[in-house]
Amino acid sequence: MPFYKHIFGEKIIFMKKINKSTKYIILGIIALMLMFVFAFIAPKNANAQFDDWGYSYGDYGYGYDDYGYGYDDYGYGYNDFGYDYGYDYNNYDYGYDYGNNNNYAYNYGYDYGCTNCGYNYGGYSYSHPVYNNPVVQNPTVSIYASPSSVSYNGSTTISWSSNNATSCNASGGTNGWAGGKSTSGTFYAGALTTPTTFYINCSNSAGSADASTTVGVAQQVQNPTVSIYASPSSVSYNGASTITWNSSNATTCYASGGANGWNGDRSISGTFYTGSLTGSTTFYINCTNSTGSANSSVTVSVDNYYNYNNNYNYNYSYTSPASVSISADRTSVSYNESTTIRWYPNNATYCYGSNGSNSWAGVKGSTNANSFNTGPLPATTIYTITCSNNIGGSESKSVTVYVGNQTIVSNRPTVVVFTDQTSVSHNGTSTIRWITTNATSCYASGGSTGWEGVKNIGPGSFYTGSLTSSKTYTMTCRNNFGSATDSQTITVRGETVTNPTPATASLVLVTSSVDRNQPIISSIDNTRPHPGDEINYTIGYQNIGTASITSLAMRIDLPSEVEFISSNPNNPTMSGQTLVFNLGTLKANGQDAVTVKVKVRDNTPLGINLYFPATLSYVSAGQSQSVNSNVSAQVWSGEEATDGNVSLGANVFGAGFLPTNLFGWLLLIILMLLLLLLVKYLLDTGAFAFQGQNTIIADQHSSRKSTNKIE
């Protein structure tokens, strides 16, 4: 049955006709409804903040009259603007269902067909918005150790940070690491004796994330050992032996005692020829490493002079008194230097040394020429020799070796700063170099871009880039005993303006770009990397002039938040975060590129900008020139939306009335044109004036007909 036919009691109402103007009005209403659907309902579906459909219960408005009930057969309730109409054209019984701000819907029933009319209220219907919980992002967590490798029994600091996490739990590790942890923090690992892995798990209501870091631990260094022996261990008077020693786990060895130059630094294993020995002599050796030291010694026994004389000179006798002379190769030496003592006995059968140092005291050679190496002398020393023979006469002689005062070596640091060129032309370049001693840290100030900041203790170098004014490069180096400062000034000569020579002119263009090397998330903007991502930094350059350029050099200053991985060309000169490529000569119309691959450090703060400045310097027509380029990337952790359940209206109009894409604008223009055409037609035809309508009412019981004209 058509929607305009309603049965109410025994009366039948027919709408005889709808004129043409009314049809166009209905067409306009349909167009407006389409705009309404696309502009309001579809965007609300896209936003998905409320229930898509608000249901109204109690849509039955009861209007009592003589004949019974009027039901709402066709009623639609919309969340915001829906009206539920039920029409009874005989008794004018209307039922309205109003949606009120998404919260309440009231159903009123009106009965105008009875004498005692009043408002009959239908049941209330209640509708409430349903709020969807906001989407909780999955947590992320990162962890690292500083330092990542330690010596045996060394320690490190574990640092971790997370995003979107509500709780974290640690496992593995050592010294109290395992257990609940804050969402970000640090942990002192304590003494480590084996490689140890520290695990962290962070979670929220959406899920969890894991990370770990392993701290490398060097093997334990064993205490050193050393052994020493003599072969032979017993010699005759003026005999010799060979000392042999061996050590394990030692890094240095030092000898003392002995004779004939034994004292001093020794290799960790080796042999030593004693030379002539006139008395029993003990050879000491001490070997050390970072954990301790070990000592050992061996004594070479020497037959005394009398046994020697009894065995070999028992028929020999002297008739003159013994005499001796003694001297030193150098009687004045510096602190810890050595010299040689020489003595020459005459008519002696026995000589004996006294005072002196380093085993000088004892039986000494009594025939021919004899010598003795003093070893390092820390102080002025007197060497005395006494010689005698069998007739009872003897003579003593001495020599004094004077030793200079000890020179105290200063432990204060030193630094020297110098430059390849102290004077350059306008836009010229140079290289700053520095060397230090006893320094533990250095800091640079002044200078040109990139110079200021922490520097290595050297030897080091820094490429200045193009200079347009004089610059002073200052460096201060420190240790526990003090600091030292040095500086170097580069003077820049005034700019010389010359007319260009077309035959030899050259012009270089430089372009640069950052490409984020992370193919698994290809939809992310390539200039917005995540921590841990690799970045390919490319600098292209082209000579669009008519002559070759020479001494081509590319300087790239990497931000401190990235780590260098590789480059092409693969032979840059590196100083900290600065790379310098020597590129040689570029012919006219030639072009090339430099590519550097870096990794964003895992602990880089989100949102920070990474700047990659580059300077290309070259010589053209005898003049130093340079061009600069810069590009930046921003570290972020954004996620791409993947929900495709967005209605057509939302795609066309976005989350509001105005369209957000080309299709939406086209649809809106078409709808507006339809409305304009409708208005034009109505104005042209005069259809805004309603024509009279005839309504035929038939009474089936009495067969009476009446015709009413409705104006």
- Indicate if 624 and 597 belong to the same structural domain: yes
- Selected residue with higher pLDDT from 592 and 108: 592
- Indicate if 298 and 310 belong to the same structural domain: no
Instruction: Please give the C-alpha separations between residue 382 and each of 345, 355, 400, in angstroms, as whole numbers.
Output: 18, 6, 4
Instruction: pLDDT band for 81, please (50, 70, 90 cuts).
Output: very low
pLDDT, tens digit (0-9, with 9 covering 90-100), for 122-180: 444 444 444 455 688 999 999 999 999 998 889 999 999 999 999 999 999 999 999 99
Q: What is the pLDDT of residue 160?
A: 94
Q: Considering 268, 302, 336, which residue would you say is the last residue of a domain?
A: 302
Tell me the DSSP string of 529-546: PPTT-EEEEEEEEEE-SS
The CA-based dihedral angle spanning residues 175, 179, 183, 189, taken in that order and rounded to the nearest 10 degrees: 10
Q: What is the pLDDT of residue 611?
A: 82
Lowest mean pLDDT of 94-98, 210-214, 332-336, name the range.
94-98
- Pure H helices in 484-577: none
Q: What is the pLDDT of residue 383?
A: 96
Question: Quick check: 695 pLDDT over 60?
Answer: no
> Per the domain annotation, does 535 fall within a domain?
yes
Q: What is the pLDDT of residue 276?
A: 86
* Highest mean pLDDT, choosing among 181-185, 303-307, 539-543, 645-649: 181-185
Q: Before 459, cis peptide (omega within 30)?
A: yes
- Indicate if 260 and 281 belong to the same structural domain: yes
**Which 3 state secondary structure label does DSSP give 695?**
strand
Strand ranges inside 49-153, DSSP E: 83-86, 93-100, 104-111, 119-121, 125-126, 140-146, 149-150
- Residues in Cβ contact with 169 at an 8 Å cutoff, skipping those fewer than 6 apart: 179, 180, 181, 200, 201, 202
Question: Quick check: 462 pLDDT over 80?
Answer: yes
Q: What is the pLDDT of residue 338?
A: 92
> Per the domain annotation, does 41 fall within a domain?
no
Q: Considering 217, 246, 280, which residue would you say is the last residue of a domain?
A: 217
Q: What is the pLDDT of residue 520?
A: 30
CA 12 vs. chain centroid, Å, equals 84
- Indicate if 390 and 422 belong to the same structural domain: no
Lowest mean pLDDT of 17-26, 281-290, 580-589, 616-625, name the range.
17-26
Whether the Cβ atoms of residue 539 and residue 554 lie closer than 8 Å to each other: yes
How many domains in the chain?
A: 6
Instruction: pLDDT band for 485, please (50, 70, 90 cuts).
Output: very high
- Indicate if 199 and 183 belong to the same structural domain: yes
Whether the Cβ atoms of residue 662 and residue 654 lie closer than 8 Å to each other: no
216-222: average pLDDT: 88
> Per the domain annotation, does 183 fall within a domain?
yes
> Per the domain annotation, does 670 fall within a domain?
no
Q: What is the pLDDT of residue 38?
A: 58
CA dihedral sign of residues 70, 75, 79, 80: negative
Q: What is the pLDDT of residue 4?
A: 41
CA 335 vs. chain centroid, Å, equals 51
Q: Please state, for a pLDDT cut of 70, what percent of the chain lies above it.
A: 67
- State the CATH number of the domain containing residue 520: 2.60.40.1510
Q: What is the pLDDT of residue 510?
A: 61
Question: Quick check: 409 pLDDT over 60?
Answer: no
pLDDT, tens digit (0-9, with 9 covering 90-100), for 608-658: 888 888 888 888 877 888 888 888 888 876 654 344 444 444 444 444 556
- Indicate if 460 and 577 belong to the same structural domain: no
> Per the domain annotation, does 206 fall within a domain?
yes
- Indicate if 163 and 234 belong to the same structural domain: no
Task: Give the count of beta carbons closer than 10 Å to the beta carbon of residue 475.
Answer: 27
- Indicate if 513 and 478 belong to the same structural domain: no
- Selected residue with higher pLDDT from 9 and 34: 34
Pairing of the two strands 394-403 and 332-333: parallel
- Indicate if 144 and 91 belong to the same structural domain: no
Instruction: pLDDT band for 705, please (50, 70, 90 cuts).
Output: very low
Instruction: pLDDT band for 666, please (50, 70, 90 cuts).
Output: confident
Task: Give the count of beta carbons closer than 10 Å to the beta carbon of residue 494.
Answer: 7
- Indicate if 156 and 119 belong to the same structural domain: no
- Indicate if 510 and 630 belong to the same structural domain: yes
Mean pLDDT of the chain, nearest integer: 75
- Selected residue with higher pLDDT from 411 and 705: 411
> Per the domain annotation, does 24 fall within a domain?
no
Q: What is the pLDDT of residue 440?
A: 93
Q: What is the pLDDT of residue 305?
A: 54
> Per the domain annotation, does 207 fall within a domain?
yes
Which tokens in the block code for residue 14?
């027919």
Range of the domain at 315: 305-403
* Highest mean pLDDT, choosing among 310-314, 415-419, 494-498, 540-544: 415-419
pLDDT, tens digit (0-9, with 9 covering 90-100), for 90-102: 444 444 444 444 4
- State the CATH number of the domain containing residue 163: 2.60.40.10
Q: Considering 338, 371, 403, which residue would you say is the last residue of a domain?
A: 403
Question: Quick check: 707 pLDDT over 80?
Answer: no
What is the 3-class SS of 282-329, one letter each residue? EEEEEEEECCEEEEEEEEEEECCHHHHHHHHCCCCCCCCCCEEEEEEC
- State the CATH number of the domain containing residue 443: 2.60.40
> Per the domain annotation, does 21 fall within a domain?
no
- Indicate if 515 and 573 belong to the same structural domain: yes
What is the 3-class SS of 201-268, one letter each residue? EEEECCEEEEEEEEEEECCCCCCCEEEEEEECCEECCCECCEEEEEEECCCEEEEEECCCCCCEEECC
Which tokens in the block code for residue 101?
């701000």
